Structure 1
Amino acid sequence: MSDHKSKHPLFLIIAYLAIAGGLSVLLMSLYLLTSTIEKQRWPVTDITPAQSGLFYQVGEKRYVIQKADLRRNHAINKVYYNPDRPEQYLTALPSYWWHLYLCMAGLIVLYAGLHLLRERERNVQSLGFE
């Protein structure tokens, strides 16, 4: 027979919060990562100047580039556009490294919560707050 001690409710709450937080960060960052990797495949087109401003052309249709996007990257001459919805464009491809870092952080927090949930020989007195 095992003499299984019940855990302090504080440890259970912290473990469940860590598991929930780790899962939510992991799922959110995986969604952002797949979205960013999808944008890496967008085709590129040249920017054409006109009297009314700048535009890019996809097929026979012209799309105007917003001035707010040009202030951030003032030396651009190409844009990346969504092939399904050509009115969506990017002046620079996004980096996926931050999403990978978030995935790893979510995994670490999830593992810490699972470890705390399975830990057996820890009690509140061992923390030294008293």
Structure 2
Amino acid sequence: MSTSPATASSSTAKATVSASSPSATVAHKPSADTCPRARDTTDENNQHLFLTERGARQLKPNGIKIMLRRRGNDSEIPHMHAHRLRHTLSHNWQLEQGNESDLMALMGWKSTDMLRCYGNSATAERAQSTHRVLELGDRV
């Protein structure tokens, strides 16, 4: 690394950095072109996860549904919807032997009935996986 200052002379967003500067990296503020959340800086309390492309407003439930379906189709995941994500999380959590009370806390469930409801869709796969892990057939 050179000890002389390196100066950028192009029209792109580059910075002048010297060896004596405290940091060689320059933080760039997100622009509206690269980050949807950068569009609306007037509302500091904007806590919406999904924003519209035009105007940085909250995406309505039907808009989220359409967006998820499109992203699913683009990723070759048929019938993608928000609720499917909860089923997938529950299934994978239980498949990996995650703690059931932790899952209940994360999902906001009060009853263990919800564990069965959300886990039923893949019970057979989890049972087969557990059977392979325990290797009970190999102990004969």
TM range (shorter): under 0.3
Q: Which has the higher contact order (CA 8 A, sep 6+)?
A: 1
Between structures 1 and 2, the one with greater strand share: 1
TM-score, length-normalised on structure 1?
0.20
